[in-house]
Chain A
Amino acid sequence: MISLMMLSGCISKTIDEKIKDEEKNPEEYVWEDDGELVIVTYDVTGLTDSMINEFENQTGYDVSLTKLEDAGSILNHLLIYKGVQVSDLAIGLDNTYLQTAIDNGVLWEHFANFSNISEEALIPYEGPLAVPFDQGHICLNYDTEIVDGVNMTVPTSLWNLTEDEWKGKVAIPSPETSSPGRAFMTATVDYFDNDPDNQTDWTDWWTDMSDNDVIITTGWSEAYETHYTGGYGEYMPGYVGDAHIVVSYCHSPGVESWYNGNWTKSAALDLPRASFHQVEYAAAVEGGNLGAASAFIEYLLSQEVNVNMPTENFMYSVLEGTDLPEDGGYRYHSIIPTQAAEINSTQIASSMENWLQDWNEAMVAA
């Protein structure tokens, strides 16, 4: 094994250079329409069989889904197969993952036609390489039955979560793999930049959280379903229920209520700058079937499909003039944060890799 390592790195370097030489030019690219659309995504609920079958009937394309773990896996997939992509459309990168994909040139311009996208959805990115299809605000959610002011107090600052009371009771998905997790981490950058304490910054908080046995999961569903006590997880096998606060969406309590028939014990925590405006994107992958990808984007953004985002996909629609439904207390139990974190896309683009490294070091430092 040692002797093999002597030749380290040469082959991959050669192949990498070869791929660079052969890199296709988007302008000269003549895409082939083989009638197939391969979508790489994570478990986006909205992509149901009936929704896809409808698209197939309308357009005649043959759709297949490559389901990966989370947004991080989608990004890795695109980066690994750079220059030799195996999919046509990527659904599920959000505004904390998108820039890396763009910078690496794995996304190409689509030619979908659509209109009526709200301005809010276009704030993080409005270029031709990716199209928003849903959005929401990342928030902390807490279990009101336990965090009721008597047994446990509702946090008024993120520092509360580093206290003994919350030891081992906070669940957060990892920013390295999960998009809500990364969004939340980004929010903490802004939160601690603007808190009254000038001597500590966001990495200190994470170190204290690590000391305080914060539960870090790979994805959102593990954090919400397995650990969080305030959600539907308790009805699922494998439920552990050791966390009373979790990173989720400001409208998650609304979803809970809608499912339960107008009741929920989960509430969103509205702390200034502790929430993040997340937009999720559909993007055409380089060198793929641009025609099919564009057709699907149009479908996803069409009135019939996109207005159903809240009920099919549990996220806000990106179309102008839409809102959460009222039934089942969906809108009632959802909040719009008073002040979301103010980190813009340029900052994300330039700092995300460093933030991830700092986060990793902060977690280990405990």
Chain B
Amino acid sequence: MLICTKLEKSFDKELFSNFSLSLNPGEIVAITGPSGCGKTTLLRCICGLETLDSGQILLDDIDITSKPAEERGIGLIFQKPVLYPHLNVEKNLKLGSKDGDFAAALEEVNLSGFETRDVATLSGGEGQRLALARALLAKPSVLLLDEPFSSIDADLSEKLVRDVRSILKERNCPAILVTHNITIADSFADSVISLA
């Protein structure tokens, strides 16, 4: 369970203050707002890539506010799929977990048989699926998603949204999605918070 209390961050101007959130196991929340309002920064603060000005984050009753990102156990899917060009699909997966069932992981995201593919040949949607599979292999306590569907074609993204949601629900993995697209927010999340 993730509990954020009174998170505050400013960058020349105030991005968010007094932001609180509690995420129950299996719950999916979407945070919406126009571009530049700080949603991405909020996400990055939660997973540890940026530091908060003030506030507290508790994950399963442990205070992770000052822990470095690699120790928090929180996964992040970036806006554009971050695939390492010097590694093929399977080796990218290995970065998530050295020994895991890669075949099952790929099957879960509908990428069966892609093990030896060169990541440069993957489409946007395929790339994000791979990123998801990799992130899930690391068994995160919470998964954060930073507008991962915005770089993908509208019709394809609809399907991707549905698929990702069902995978997360099956695993009972709590998630926070950040998006400016209300439609996607509604179809993906259980509840929507506006950061305007």
**Is A–B contact present in the complex under a CB 8 A cutoff?**
no
B residues neighboring A (CB under 8 Å): none
A residues neighboring B (CB under 8 Å): none
